Amino acid sequence: MKVCIACGMPMKETSDFAMGDAEKDYCVYCARPDGTMQSYEEKLDSMTNFIIRTQGLDEKAANATARDMLSRLPAWKAID
């Protein structure tokens, strides 16, 4: 089983992969409509909003949590 390099989501089904392409290293949630991977800024924004929605943290705490999570993933190791 592959894990998304940009968000860490397990990708089990073909539909989990960007554009349904199991050769991609990132998931459907980390892809832009054209199938390319989102930038760090795009992913940080969406992850921050996801954390606010699901965990109820304020924006500053959610952003710090998202930065910490993303820093552990292969796609973003060199960023920060």
pLDDT band at 80 (very low <50, low <70, confident <90, very high): low
pLDDT at 79: 76
**Residue-range definition of the domain harbouring residue 51:** 2-76
Rounded to the nearest 10 degrees, what angle do helices 40-55 and 59-71 cross at?
A: 130
pLDDT of residue 38: 97
State the pTM of this model.
Answer: 0.87
Q: Which of 32, 42, 44 is nearest to 70 (CA)?
A: 44
For 11-64, the pLDDT digits (tens) are 999 999 999 999 999 999 999 999 999 999 999 999 999 999 999 999 999 999
Q: How many domains, in total, are found in the chain? A: 1
